[in-house]
Amino acid sequence: MKRTGTLGAMRCMLVRDLTLAVRRLSDVLTTLFFFVIVVSLFPLGVGPDLDVLRSIAPGVVWVAALLASMLALGRLYSSDYNDGTLEQLLVAPQPLSLLVLAKVAAHWLISGAPLVVLAPLLGMLLGMPADALQTLCWSLLLGTPVMSLIGAVGAALTLGLRGGNVLVALLVLPLYIPVLIFGAGAVEAGMSGLGADAHLSLLGALLLLALCCAPWAAAAALRISME
Amino acid sequence: MKRTGTLGAMRCMLVRDLTLAVRRLSDVLTTLFFFVIVVSLFPLGVGPDLDVLRSIAPGVVWVAALLASMLALGRLYSSDYNDGTLEQLLVAPQPLSLLVLAKVAAHWLISGAPLVVLAPLLGMLLGMPADALQTLCWSLLLGTPVMSLIGAVGAALTLGLRGGNVLVALLVLPLYIPVLIFGAGAVEAGMSGLGADAHLSLLGALLLLALCCAPWAAAAALRISME
Amino acid sequence: MSGINWFKYASPASFYPLAGRLVPWCGGITVILSLIGLYIGFFVAPTDFQQGEAYRIIFIHVPAAWMSMCIYVVMAGYAALGLIFNTRLSAMMATSLAPTGAMFTFLALWTGALWGKPMWGAWWVWDARLTSELILLFLYIGFMSLQASIDDPRRASRASALLALVGVVNVPIIYFSVKWWNTLHQGASIRFDAAPTMAATMLTAMLVMTLAFWAYTITVVLMRVRSEILERERHTDWVAETLEQGK
Amino acid sequence: MLEARDLAALRGDRRLFSGLDFAVEAGDLLQVAGHNGSGKTTLLRMLAGLIVPEQGMILWQGQPLRTQREDYARDLFYFGHLPGLKDEFNGVENLRFASELAGTLVTAGEAAGALARFGLEGFEDLPAKVLSQGQKRRVALARLLLSEARLWVLDEPFTALDVSAIDVLRAILQQHLVRGGMLVMTSHQDVAVTHSGRVKQLRLGR
Amino acid sequence: MLEARDLAALRGDRRLFSGLDFAVEAGDLLQVAGHNGSGKTTLLRMLAGLIVPEQGMILWQGQPLRTQREDYARDLFYFGHLPGLKDEFNGVENLRFASELAGTLVTAGEAAGALARFGLEGFEDLPAKVLSQGQKRRVALARLLLSEARLWVLDEPFTALDVSAIDVLRAILQQHLVRGGMLVMTSHQDVAVTHSGRVKQLRLGR
Ligand code: HEM
Ligand SMILES: Nc1ncnc2c1ncn2[C@@H]1O[C@H](COP(=O)(O)OP(=O)(O)OP(=O)(O)O)[C@@H](O)[C@H]1O
Ligand SMILES: Nc1ncnc2c1ncn2[C@@H]1O[C@H](COP(=O)(O)OP(=O)(O)OP(=O)(O)O)[C@@H](O)[C@H]1O
Ligand SMILES: [Mg+2]
Ligand SMILES: [Mg+2]
């Protein structure tokens, strides 16, 4: 039997979560379907006027992506918590924050990346022009990992609480708002001829900030929640 | 010790769930806040132009109410399922469908009724005129119970499945769409001077239909899920 | 080491009586300062040539808006102390600050809305500053509901402390929102790098009101922290003794 | 009388048991034994009507279960792996709500009495959430004292109980049998519930 | 060596225990006893570093726990009430992932061997979801065979096991002690783990 180091454990965590996702494929698909359905609810609720739709499209796609990735948060730790694996992670000899980082990476690959891929299609249906679609992709590519990272903290804080999935929404949404503003802002700026670069680089800065702070905060939150 | 009948058990169920809600008050409040937050995300994503906002307001409020009541579904059976109470309900000597009906009633009082009360306020912030606010209230008053009832079936079917809360969205959202169309349609018809009555009476018919079928279907779904 | 031993007051047992002695003083200061501030604001300050009398709402609105942000920072500071040094008192301070902070946030929103109607013709516009202030309210509410939904007080205060720290990023966003986006809302007129642009009496009234709000905050928070201490330390001997004496 | 005729359970590809025949009469204890995974829980859930048998049938008073679900439910007390307590309710509230939903109205005094019998005086006011594993099971088992069901189906009732609680439970089970109740149970712990000789053993597995 | 000095636990208003002092040395078994709700689980979770003690401290090799969390974790095997299995994984996968996250690389063969030792041949390919309560615990306990930790902290390891599994587990625990390992455990079942005489008893509660 061989000892493994931190990197090995992180890799193992990633592989494990991705394998689990493959076994529970319906989970991955449902986040996507949720995204599609929310976007397609809007024409139903707002009416089919394409000009109105085009003008609200960036906002709608972004809000839908935000809600979808928030909903997916419920699955980040809950199964590990319920079956006792999380307790085992806390007593594991690796830095918890790095394990959490690996977990979040897997979670983003499962629930964030598909959104980025699917968003242009939905944007197209709402009548967005081609170059705006590209900006949309970029903004989501930078924005969804930030949301996963922030969400990891919120989900850790509400772990095991009744009504956790609504509470997590309350905690996490206010922190998502800057992401939403810059993200939807980038697309709108692009559509109205102003450059989207300023917004995108702000999003990038948010991503860096979240990468540095969130795993650490999430690990601390997990220790508090499991006490 | 005295025997109780079906009505007694239904009353007991209602009282029990409402008492629980009072103990977990934060649950009730969080559904509400979720509703508020989702509505306030839109101006952020779409931009502050009040004319645009007013025109999409009925759709936005309705979509937000729909999402909030869908999220709340997660709590309908989950705690009873996890702690074994649901198993006990299945072996109880009362018709399961009526117990479920009582449960749904409690759930609506907790998570649907507050939405109805709060919706006019949000509509006002989005610039809706006063009589449209009234129609909004009526449409939600008829629509939210339908959503709770339909949701009870969906939640029962996905009980105990991993990723249940996303799966339930997938099952339930398509069924919510008629409610959304008639609900938001009623408000829009009211705002554009056409009468909202036709839409409202369709909503009423949906409510009756759901009242007759949903408890029975939910009970059957519960028996299947618990096998 | 000479002088006051500050660490002594970091223990709930010695802070409790100290807080008890401070409360009446701070309460008195609150009353006096608000009377002065309101007097200057409503009777001394001149009528604005553009906005008429309605502008006087500024004497509540601006101090309340300032307080809403300051209290959040102070609360996060206490939360950090509690989290890092595991001091019980700091956690209780953070808990007691939250409702007051939320109250001021609400006050700023409400007075702003009242003011917006005559000024912009709408109760509410979705501009960056207003929205970020709304987010601040949500952060306070999130803080309080997280705390309310955890039963174990120790876990509750540690979890919400972490949340408060994460939420601090929002404060600069509120403050700079007027700079970053051009919006309807007025920019900062009091800045550290430029002379104030408003009349001296207005400025005085606003500053006095701010001080009054601070005094109010301290009073209420001390009162709240006292009951918090009693509640969380009820199993200790000194609380039992204090309660005996109080009877 | 509870009867099983030619009962079989299939789980996945695995035939857990088949051709099971037994009858439990008033005053009888049916002790279901077997190694881990031999199908004890599956059998008990079938008897409670939670699983529909693959083959064979279960009769209550000579009638098949599915024709009389509600009457049967009135006579049945089923206790599975989960205690069925609400975290937010204290012991008394938990007992009262659970009993009322199961069809019996119980006063606060009766509930407190039942808890006391299980050694939980002083814990009545604590929400179930803060109770230890064993205390939770005690609260759940206290429902036995408030039940008028004739057939008790208990899946490992002694789990997590300490010695004194096991004694209390054994006495309650004995009393139920003496009064002419029926009892079907499993247990990996070797607890002699009764010496009356009306004990039937059912061994599942190889 | 594991040492506790003046340890106290407070839960709500209730003082579960206080002034607890003990030391566990190589080859020692510390058996924590006490009635339901006396604080055994709480103590074990403290020893695992999951709960920060209200008062007092825990030392490992003479150093306080919090200064050496990761080194201590390498020496610790903690087994709580929950088995920590993924429903979707089969036994071998569960064992391999769990061990690797705990810092030991395990081959499929080794994992299958450990399962076989616990009498689970033929069940290796079943997802944990379909296993019975006892089988799940067997899979989880098989991790003991793959662990190189010196200190084992086990909370009611015998729960839900049938007689043959109890024998296997007892043998494994004995071997661990003979090899100089340390063991802290609770159990309501009366299982004599070792006769070496190096057994310390710790009674919590009145
Ligand atoms: C609900 C609506 C409103 C909200 C949430 C709000 C929020 C705020 C906040 C957070 C500040 C403090 C910012 C700082 O110190 O830089 C502030 C200051 C101020 N607000 Fe508002 N406000 C609202 C409506 C209004 C309206 C309608 C007016 C008048 C047209 C107004 C005029 C001012 C002024 C003059 C200041 C002082 C700026 C300074 O001197 O620094 N506000 N407001
Ligand atoms: N889908 C399936 N495929 C194969 N086997 C299955 C499936 N579902 C359940 N099983 C088997 O059915 C059995 C379940 O038995 P049950 O839970 O009734 O056991 P038990 O006698 O109560 O055991 P224990 O003493 O551990 O509680 C297990 O052996 C399990 O492997
Ligand atoms: N918030 C609280 N208020 C009051 N008492 C509490 C609180 N939280 C926990 N307790 C008490 O702490 C004890 C928990 O003990 P623990 O789970 O460690 O018991 P145990 O010895 O493992 O019992 P068992 O044998 O039943 O597993 C219980 O008596 C419980 O009532
Ligand atoms: Mg079983
Ligand atoms: Mg225990």
Q: What pLDDT, on the 0 to 100 scale, is given for residue A27? A: 74
Minimum CA distance residue for ligand 1 atom 14: C188
Residues of E in contact with C232 (CB under 8 A): none
What are A215-225's pLDDT values in tens digits?
A: 999 999 999 98
What are E72-103's pLDDT values in tens digits?
A: 999 999 999 888 899 889 999 999 999 998 88
Ligand 2 lined by D16 (C-beta under 6 Å):
yes
What are B4-14's pLDDT values in tens digits?
A: 788 999 999 99
Q: Which ligand is nearest to the CA of E206?
A: 3
Average confidence (pLDDT) over C86-97: 89
Residues in chain C: 247
Q: What pLDDT, on the 0 to 100 scale, is given for residue E36? A: 92
Best mutation site among C88, C234, C235, C237 for testing chain E: the one with the most E CBs within 10 Å? C235
Contact C135 A161 (CB under 8 A): no
- On the question of pLDDT at B181 being above 80, the answer is yes
Contact A92 E81 (CB under 8 A): no
Residue with the larger pLDDT of the pair A106 and D188? A106
A226: contact with E, CB 8 A cutoff: yes
Q: How confident is the model at residue D75 (pLDDT cuts 50, 70, 90)?
A: very high
CA B60 from chain centre, in angstroms, equals 16
Tell me which residues of chain E, numbers 94 to 123, contact chain D at a CB-CB cutoff of 8 Å: 119, 123
Here the tokens at position D14 are 């695995």
CA distance A194 to chain C (A): 14
CA Rg value for chain C? 20
Judged by DSSP in three states, D178 sits in helix
Nearest residue to A166 via CA among D69, B71, C12: B71
Q: What pLDDT, on the 0 to 100 scale, is given for residue B166? A: 65
Q: How far apart are CA B163 and CA A28, in angstroms?
A: 9
Contact A221 C155 (CB under 8 A): no
Ligand 2 lined by E132 (C-beta under 6 Å):
yes
Q: How confident is the model at residue E53 (pLDDT cuts 50, 70, 90)?
A: confident
Contacts of E128 (CB under 8 A, 6+ apart): E85, E86, E87, E88, E89, E90, E91, E94, E136, E139
**CA dihedral over C154, C157, C158, C159, signed as positive or negative:** positive
**CA dihedral over C161, C163, C166, C168, signed as positive or negative:** negative
Q: How far apart are CA A186 and CA A135, in angstroms?
A: 7
Q: How confident is the model at residue D58 (pLDDT cuts 50, 70, 90)?
A: very high
Q: Which ligand is nearest to the CA of E137?
A: 2
Q: What pLDDT, on the 0 to 100 scale, is given for residue D117? A: 94
Q: How far apart are CA B143 and CA B193, in angstroms?
A: 21
Contacts of C11 (CB under 8 A, 6+ apart): C89
Q: How far apart are CA B34 and CA A214, in angstroms?
A: 23
CA E199 from chain centre, in angstroms, equals 16
Q: How far apart are CA B98 and CA B100, in angstroms?
A: 5
Tell me which residues of chain D, numbers 99 to 138, contact chain C at a CB-CB cutoff of 8 Å: 127, 129-130
Interface contacts A/E by beta carbons within 8 Å: 92
For E13, name the nearest residue in chain C, comparing CA atoms only. Answer: C235
**DSSP string computed for chain C:** --S--GGGGGSHHHHHHHHHHHHHHHHHHHHHHHHHHHHIIIIISPPBTTTBGGGGGHHHHHHHHHHHHHHHHHHHHHHHHHHHH--HHHHHHHHHHHHHHHHHHHHHHHHHHHHHHHHHSSS----HHHHHHHHHHHHHHHHHHHHHH--SHHHHHHHHHHHHHHHTTHHHHHHHHHHHS--SSPPPSSBTTB---S-HHHHHHHHHHHHHHHHHHHHHHHHHHHHHHHHHTTTSHHHHHHHHHH-
Best mutation site among E188, E191, E206 for testing chain D: the one with the most D CBs within 10 Å? E188
Contacts of B135 (CB under 8 A, 6+ apart): B186, B187, B190, B191, B196, B200
Q: Which ligand is nearest to the CA of E33?
A: 3
> What number does the ligand 1 atom closest to the CA of C188 have?
41
Q: Which ligand is nearest to the CA of D14?
A: 2
What are C37-69's pLDDT values in tens digits?
A: 888 888 887 776 666 677 788 889 999 999 999
Q: What pLDDT, on the 0 to 100 scale, is given for residue A13? A: 94
What are D140-199's pLDDT values in tens digits?
A: 999 999 998 999 999 999 998 999 999 999 999 999 999 999 999 999 888 787 777 688
**DSSP string computed for D84-95:** ---TTSBHHHHH
Residue B1 lies in a domain: no
CA distance E175 to chain D (A): 24
What pTM, to 2 d.p., does this model score?
0.85
Which of E86, E104, E148 has the CB atom closest to A83's CB atom? E86
- On the question of pLDDT at C194 being above 50, the answer is no
Ligand 3 lined by E202 (C-beta under 6 Å):
no
Q: How confident is the model at residue C203 (pLDDT cuts 50, 70, 90)?
A: confident
Average confidence (pLDDT) over E37-54: 92
Name the pairing type of β-strands D182-186 and D151-155.
Answer: parallel
Burial of C121 from C-beta contacts in 10 A (0-12 / 13-18 / 19+): exposed
Give the residue, out of D126, D129, D136, with the most ligand 3 atoms within 8 A of its beta carbon, to mutate for a pocket test: D126
Give the residue, out of E132, E136, E159, E166, with the most ligand 2 atoms within 8 A of its beta carbon, to mutate for a pocket test: E132
Ligand 3 lined by E11 (C-beta under 6 Å):
yes
Give the residue, out of C62, C191, C198, with the most ligand 1 atoms within 8 A of its beta carbon, to mutate for a pocket test: C62
What are C162-179's pLDDT values in tens digits?
A: 999 988 887 887 777 766
Average pLDDT of chain B to the nearest whole number: 87
Q: What pLDDT, on the 0 to 100 scale, is given for residue C6? A: 54
**By the 8 A CB rule, do C189 and C196 touch?**
yes
Q: How far apart are CA C147 and CA A161, in angstroms?
A: 11
- On the question of pLDDT at C186 being above 80, the answer is no
Nearest residue to E120 via CA among E139, E95, E144: E139
Residue A11 lies in a domain: yes
Minimum CA distance residue for ligand 3 atom 18: E39
What are A141-191's pLDDT values in tens digits?
A: 999 999 999 999 999 998 877 666 778 888 888 889 888 888 988 888 888
D161: contact with E, CB 8 A cutoff: yes
Which of A72, A170, A180 has the CB atom closest to B34's CB atom? A170
Residues of E in contact with D35 (CB under 8 A): 119, 134, 162, 164-165
Q: What are the start-end ranges of the H helices in chain D?
A: 40-47, 69-75, 91-101, 108-117, 133-142, 163-178
Residue B17 lies in a domain: yes
Q: How far apart are CA D27 and CA D42, in angstroms?
A: 24
Judged by DSSP in three states, D80 sits in coil
For E34, name the nearest residue in chain D, comparing CA atoms only. Answer: D162
Which of E37, E133, E135 has the CB atom closest to D132's CB atom? E37
> What number does the ligand 3 atom closest to the CA of D136 have?
26
Q: How far apart are CA A73 and CA A171, in angstroms?
A: 12
B84: contact with D, CB 8 A cutoff: yes
Average confidence (pLDDT) over C222-234: 86
C247: contact with E, CB 8 A cutoff: no
Chain D residues contacting B via beta carbons under 8 Å: 48-52, 70-71, 73-74, 76, 78, 80-89, 93, 97-98, 100-106, 110, 146, 148
Q: How confident is the model at residue C106 (pLDDT cuts 50, 70, 90)?
A: very high
Q: How far apart are CA B127 and CA B96, in angstroms?
A: 45
Interface contacts C/D by beta carbons within 8 Å: 3
Q: How confident is the model at residue C3 (pLDDT cuts 50, 70, 90)?
A: very low
Here the tokens at position C81 are 């102390």
Ligand 2 lined by D12 (C-beta under 6 Å):
yes
Average confidence (pLDDT) over D38-61: 92
> What number does the ligand 3 atom closest to the CA of E204 have?
21
B70-84, C33-47, D123-137: range with highest mean pLDDT: D123-137
- On the question of pLDDT at D116 being above 90, the answer is yes
Q: How far apart are CA D32 and CA B193, in angstroms?
A: 72
Minimum CA distance residue for ligand 1 atom 37: C62
What are D81-90's pLDDT values in tens digits?
A: 888 899 889 9
For E47, name the nearest residue in chain A, comparing CA atoms only. Answer: A91
Name the pairing type of β-strands E2-11 and E14-24.
Answer: antiparallel
Average pLDDT of chain D to the nearest whole number: 90
Best mutation site among D101, D130, D145 for testing chain B: the one with the most B CBs within 10 Å? D101
Average confidence (pLDDT) over B195-207: 91
CA distance C220 to chain B (A): 24
Q: What pLDDT, on the 0 to 100 scale, is given for residue A181? A: 84
Q: How far apart are CA D28 and CA D25, in angstroms?
A: 5
Residue span of the structural domain in which B188 resides: 6-226
Burial of E121 from C-beta contacts in 10 A (0-12 / 13-18 / 19+): exposed
Average pLDDT of chain C to the nearest whole number: 82
Q: How confident is the model at residue C187 (pLDDT cuts 50, 70, 90)?
A: low
Q: How far apart are CA D162 and CA D145, in angstroms?
A: 19
Name the pairing type of β-strands D29-33 and D182-186.
Answer: parallel
CA distance A69 to chain C (A): 19
Chain E residues contacting A via beta carbons under 8 Å: 48-52, 70-71, 73-74, 76, 78, 80-89, 93, 97-98, 100-106, 110, 146, 148
Contacts of C2 (CB under 8 A, 6+ apart): none
The backbone torsions φ and ψ at residue E121, rounded to the nearest 5 degrees and listed phi first, read -60, 140
Residue B121 lies in a domain: yes
> What number does the ligand 3 atom closest to the CA of E9 have?
12
- On the question of pLDDT at C190 being above 60, the answer is no
**DSSP string computed for E27-70:** T-EEEEE-STTSSHHHHHHHHTTSS--SEEEEEETTEEGGGGHH
Q: How confident is the model at residue E190 (pLDDT cuts 50, 70, 90)?
A: confident
Residue linked to tokens 């499929």 = E108
B49-58, C6-15, E120-129: range with highest mean pLDDT: E120-129
Contact E12 D162 (CB under 8 A): no
Residue with the larger pLDDT of the pair C161 and A195? C161
Q: How many domains does chain A have?
A: 1
